[in-house]
A and B are shown apart, each in its own frame.
Chain A
Amino acid sequence: ELKVEQNPLFLSMQEGKNYTIYCNYSTTSDRLYWYRQDPGKSLESLFVLLSNGAVKQEGRLMASLDTKARLSTLHITAAVHDLSATYFCAVRGGATNKLIFGTGTLLAVQP
């Protein structure tokens, strides 16, 4: 059974600092997704990573994928308050094409 683990579950950081969120998954998968969710809102797609070594960047966020280590990272550079949200990674699982979501990382950026 495919499992997806994120850490940390909660991250409080100051504006201007850098940090990384980690996403580990338990079995082979060829697609990994990062989503952002604001409180009470829908999930917004941030990145789709399709191959080993894939790196994508958007603004202060950069995501990477290491399929051999079954690890993806979401790096935050010089955090700003607007990045405060919950971030989910998700991995495609098996023949059903189901996305298995991690538990999410609640990011709070303090001024």
Chain B
Amino acid sequence: EAQVTQNPRYLITVTGKKLTVTCSQNMNHEYMSWYRQDPGLGLRQIYYSMNVEVTDKGDVPEGYKVSRKEKRNFPLILESPSPNQTSLYFCASSVIVPNTGELFFGEGSRLTVL
């Protein structure tokens, strides 16, 4: 089954404790992206990647890091989480043929930073 898998789905952590949210897709998609969703602010892009070893900032990259060492994986790293990073996070992927097509979303990861 074609899917985007995120882990963990739910996480409560404390300020400053590094965490990683994993994202994996099995559709051989070149393009992957992270979004955060907050009430009243909609979906905002954090980082995206056009292919392996190619990443770039989205609209709200501060406080986040990503890597793309393999095509299928695109982890989101919070080096020192803060309460303002409490949010619902989505990973998404798509093909680039020749431009981004339909985005497929993971189930979401709800993060609470105390």
Contact = CB atoms under 8 A, between A and B. Distances in A.
Interface of A: 31, 33, 40-45, 48, 88, 90, 92, 96-99, 101-104
Given A41-B107, A88-B43, A104-B42, A98 B90 contact: no
Given A45-B102, A96-B56, 15 more contacts: A33-B102, A40-B108, A42-B105, A42-B108, A43-B43, A44-B105, A45-B103, A92-B99, A97-B31, A97-B50, A97-B100, A98-B100, A99-B45, A99-B100, A104-B42
A33 to B, nearest CB: 6
Contacts of B102: 33, 45, 48
B105 A98 contact: no
B104 A45 contact: yes
Chain A interface secondary structure, helix, strand, loop or mixed?
strand
Given A41-B108, A101-B42, A102-B42, A48 B101 contact: yes
Nearest to A102: B42
Contacts of A104: 42
Contacts of B33: 98
Given A96-B56, A98-B45, A101-B42, A42 B103 contact: no
Interface size on B, as a range, is: 20 to 34
Contacts of B90: 42-43
A101 B43 contact: yes
A101 B103 CA distance: 12
Nearest to B106: A42
A107 to B, nearest CB: 16
A33 B101 CA distance: 9
Q: In this complex, which of B50, B88, B101, B110 has the most chain A Cβ atoms within 10 angstroms of its Cβ?
A: B101
A40 B110 CA distance: 9
B19 interface: no
B32 to A, nearest CB: 11
Contacts of A102: 42
A28 to B, nearest CB: 13
15 contacts: A31-B99, A33-B102, A33-B103, A40-B88, A42-B107, A43-B103, A43-B105, A45-B102, A88-B43, A92-B99, A96-B56, A97-B31, A97-B50, A98-B100, A99-B103
